[in-house]
Amino acid sequence: MSNSTVMPSISVINAIAPLRSQIRQWRQAGESIAFVPTMGNLHDGHLRLIDVARSKADRVIASIFVNPMQFGKNEDLASYPRTLDEDIAGLVAHHTDALFTPTPELMYPRGLDAQTYVEVPLLGDLHCGASRAGHFRGVSTIVCKLFNLVQPDIACFGQKDYQQLAIIRQMVTDLSLPIEIIGVATERAADGLALSSRNGYLTATERAQAPALYQILQQVKHAVAAGNHDYRALEQQAKQQLLAAGMLPDYVNISHQQSLALASSATEPKVVLAAAKLGSTRLIDNLEL
């Protein structure tokens, strides 16, 4: 009798025809499909998305694509970490059925300048969209294209990218895409720092400073819970605290959860969103209030 263990496997697909063939086979078998799009360099937050997807559908497919359309000039497209072998090992360990790994040439065969794009107005102009022109156009375009290729029943996204999640939900609603979007709570390190592929850019000193972002957002949350509704003053105070912690704040905004417009009402559900530079690394985080 053999004592060997059968290891799970994953189908790695890098072209459209075999991807559609695989999706067709699952559909013909009556299986539901959950999708987790990523840019790779997977951490526990990504793998949590895989686990949630696994709990919601018969089949789970992930994608890894460092999308050039969502990077601006002088951003980290060339240096963005690419760790495919380690990513595949993590996906296998979490029982992912397939991984789609397209190239920019496959996704944008006519080049970025000639590519049809999808843009979500208003939501995409706020917060990160105000300082990263074209970023969310790149996000919504690639996610829409991936949705058309994979045609999932469910797609899972992390709540760390709160604005991105809101934009994708709006796009799905506006374009009548038959996909359920599931937001998954932010995974954090023991000291509270939101997990991010870009955390690897932090020096040891910066990594020790970085949890201050989450701590400052917690202070905002506690102040609002205690009845402080002077949201603009709280935002300015938080920016000063970020500066004192060695960070360069991009924004701290207390906003409505649905519209992401700056909050003024004490009764509507709110979220505090923040972005700040620490050294060369841009950190984002949020807390629902």
Query: Max CA-CA distance within the chain?
Result: 71
Residue 3, in any domain of the structure: no
The domain that holds 222 is classified in CATH as 3.30.1300.10
CA 59/CA 50 separation, integer angstroms: 11
pLDDT-derived band at 2 (thresholds 50, 70, 90) equals very low
| Full residue range of the structural domain in which residue 259 is found | 197-288
pLDDT-derived band at 112 (thresholds 50, 70, 90) equals very high
Residue 242, in any domain of the structure: yes
Question: pLDDT > 90: what percent of the chain?
Answer: 87
Residue 146, in any domain of the structure: yes
Active-site pick, 43, 46, 95, 229 = 46
Average pLDDT, the chain: 94
* Whether residue 263 has pLDDT greater than 70: yes
* Whether residue 284 has pLDDT greater than 80: yes
Residue 110, in any domain of the structure: yes
pLDDT-derived band at 1 (thresholds 50, 70, 90) equals very low
Which range, of 2-6, 45-49, 247-251, 261-265, averages the lowest pLDDT?
2-6
Which range, of 6-10, 79-83, 119-123, 285-289, averages the lowest pLDDT?
6-10
> Quick check: is 46 catalytic?
yes
β-strands 98-100, 154-158 pairing: unpaired
Alpha-carbon 90 to chain mean position: 18
CA 168/CA 107 separation, integer angstroms: 19
- pLDDT tens-digit map of 129-169: 888 888 999 999 999 999 999 999 999 999 999 999 999 99
Identify whether the C-beta of residue 234 lies closer than 8 Å to the C-beta of residue 216.
no
DSSP string for the chain: ----------EEE-SHHHHHHHHHHHHHTT--EEEEEE-S---HHHHHHHHHHHHH-SEEEEEE---GGG--TTSSTTTS---HHHHHHHHHHTT--EEE---HHHH-TT-GGG------TTGGGSTHHHHSTTHHHHHHHHHHHHHHHH--SEEEEETTSHHHHHHHHHHHHHTT---EEEEEPPPB-TTSPBP-GGGGG--HHHHHHTTHHHHHHHHHHHHHHTT---HHHHHHHHHHHHHHTT-EEEEEEEEETTT-PBP--SSS-EEEEEEEEETTEEEEEEEE-
Same domain as 133, residue 24: yes
The domain that holds 91 is classified in CATH as 3.40.50.620
Count: domains in the chain: 2
Find the angle CA(138)-CA(142)-CA(148) to the nearest 5 degrees.
Answer: 150
- State the pLDDT at residue 266: 86
pLDDT-derived band at 3 (thresholds 50, 70, 90) equals very low
Can you tell me the mean pLDDT for 216-224? 97
Same domain as 276, residue 243: yes
CA 83/CA 52 separation, integer angstroms: 22
- State the pLDDT at residue 6: 42
Same domain as 137, residue 26: yes
pLDDT-derived band at 179 (thresholds 50, 70, 90) equals very high
Can you tell me the mean pLDDT for 47-55? 98
